[in-house]
Amino acid sequence: MGINPLMWKWFLFLSFGFKGVFPLRNVQVTIPKAVKVYDTVTLLCKYDLEGEQLYSVKWYKGNKEFFRYIPKEMPSMLVFPIPGINVDLSKSNANEVVLRDVQREVTGLYRCEVSTDMPNFYTMIVSSYMYVVDIPSENPILHIQREFVEGNYLVRANCSAPPSFPAMNITWYINGLKVNENGRKIINLSPIQTFPMDKRRLRMTVSYVSKEINENVFQGGVIKVQCVSTLFHLYKSEDVRYIDDDRPKPWPSSVIGFNGISAGSSFFVQYICWIVIIGVFMLR
Ligand SMILES: *[C@@H]1O[C@H](CO)[C@@H](O)[C@H](O)[C@H]1NC(C)=O
Ligand SMILES: *[C@@H]1O[C@H](CO)[C@@H](O)[C@H](O)[C@H]1NC(C)=O
């Protein structure tokens, strides 16, 4: 017995309900990756129904539905309360939901589910993650240590970004050039009091750099070490230290006549070299 296409579709509908397996093309969400606490946020959901009738657009945060648009029903828009989510109905419609005054706990996965009407009931879900972040008022803190090793400086630095959720990114620059970090640590701080059960604890990034610096790097006798911490596009702050080139100055090259030895050598080593050079001349 052959199965006619309509029966087949009904079979699928009955088996899978609204989570039908037929693709509804081009469902796309535009959701900001990160926004600030108390911002007004627009979540966009665009779709191409390809001639089908729209049955519903539903928005979920995680598994919880918070907004539904069904053009055939009265009222066509419904809001289901979720703590921290404040839907502005006057600005929401079939393609967008506007959230006012977003709170930290609004951080999460957002899903838009679009379904077409009878007879096909195609359904498609698209999702995207949004962070709602508190912008710290503090700046990163840079610590620097330097040692004088074999004519070069060894600079060791660490930089602590202000606590945030999620943890910040840190970028290093020496004289304006990007330098890779040697290591990084993310420290979990104690839970925020208002959300004791919240897994999203504040985190602090500490980044480490260790770099040998020779005379080529000194520009005008100074090195600029910069630590820049960022939280998405919402926060950017830096701490800067300058290192002066206060290594012992080599003898003037006109006296030594031998740049390779003089550069970066201590006075004593240069003195010995000088004696040896004179000695070699005298022995000839
Ligand atoms: C950073 O460096 C300073 C000075 O060298 C040191 O006292 C401090 O403990 C370091 N901090 C971290 C988090 O490693
Ligand atoms: C850190 O940088 C990565 C790579 O550029 C980026 O994807 C991520 O969103 C950044 N995270 C933060 C908190 O800024």
**Within 10 Å of residue 54's Cβ, how many Cβ atoms?**
16
The pLDDT assigned to 44 comes to 98
3-state secondary structure of 248: coil
In this predicted structure, the answer to whether residue 192 has a pLDDT above a threshold of 90 is no
Lowest mean pLDDT among 45-59, 70-84, 261-275: 261-275
Domain boundary among 70, 98, 133: 133
Say whether both 196 and 276 belong to one domain: no
Say whether both 158 and 128 belong to one domain: no
Nearest residue by C-alpha to atom 14 in ligand 1: 158
Say whether both 47 and 122 belong to one domain: yes
Say whether both 65 and 181 belong to one domain: no
In this predicted structure, the answer to whether residue 279 has a pLDDT above a threshold of 70 is no
From CA 200, how far away is CA 265, in angstroms rounded? 53
Say whether both 147 and 264 belong to one domain: no
Distance from the first to the final alpha carbon of the chain: 112
- Give how many domains the chain has, as a whole number: 3
Domain boundary among 85, 115, 133: 133
Say whether both 101 and 174 belong to one domain: no
| Prediction pTM value | 0.73
Say whether both 111 and 166 belong to one domain: no
Specify the pairing of strand 123-133 against strand 108-116: antiparallel
Say whether both 21 and 121 belong to one domain: yes
Looking at residue 128, its amino acid is S
In this predicted structure, the answer to whether residue 161 has a pLDDT above a threshold of 70 is yes
The pLDDT assigned to 261 comes to 41
Task: Output 263 or 147, whichever has higher pLDDT.
Answer: 147
Average confidence (pLDDT) over 215-225: 77
The pLDDT assigned to 21 comes to 47
Average confidence (pLDDT) over 81-88: 93
Say whether both 240 and 261 belong to one domain: no
Distance from chain centroid for Cα 27: 26
Say whether both 147 and 216 belong to one domain: yes
With a Cβ cut-off of 6 Å, ligand 1 is lined by 143, 145, 158, 160, 206
Lowest mean pLDDT among 45-54, 97-106, 269-278: 269-278
32 near 130, Cβ under 8 Å? yes
Say whether both 226 and 202 belong to one domain: yes
Nearest residue by C-alpha to atom 10 in ligand 2: 232
Strand partners, 237: 229
56 near 69, Cβ under 8 Å? yes
Average confidence (pLDDT) over 100-107: 91
The pLDDT assigned to 249 comes to 63
Say whether both 231 and 259 belong to one domain: no
23-51: pLDDT as tens digits: 577 899 999 999 999 999 999 999 998 88
Q: Return the ligand number nearest the Cα of 136.
A: 2
112-134: pLDDT as tens digits: 999 999 888 889 999 999 999 99
Nearest residue by C-alpha to atom 3 in ligand 2: 169
Q: Which atom of ligand 2 is nearest to the CA of 232?
A: 14
In this predicted structure, the answer to whether residue 19 has a pLDDT above a threshold of 50 is no
Average pLDDT taken over every residue of the chain? 83
259-269: pLDDT as tens digits: 434 444 455 55
In this structure, what are the phi and psi dihedrals at residue 216, rounded to the nearest 5 degrees? -65, -25
Give yes or no for residue 103 CB within 6 A of ligand 2: no
Average confidence (pLDDT) over 223-247: 92
CATH number, domain containing residue 10: 2.60.40.10
Q: List, in order, residues 6 or more apart from 239 with CB less than 8 Å away.
A: 139, 140, 141, 142, 159, 226, 227
In this predicted structure, the answer to whether residue 70 has a pLDDT above a threshold of 90 is yes
pLDDT over 70, % of the chain: 73
DSSP 221-264: TEEEEEEEEEETTTEEEEEEEEEE--SPPPPPHHHH--HHHHTT
For residue 273, the enclosing domain spans: 253-283
Strand partners, 283: none
Nearest residue by C-alpha to atom 10 in ligand 1: 158
From CA 236, how far away is CA 230, in angstroms rounded? 4
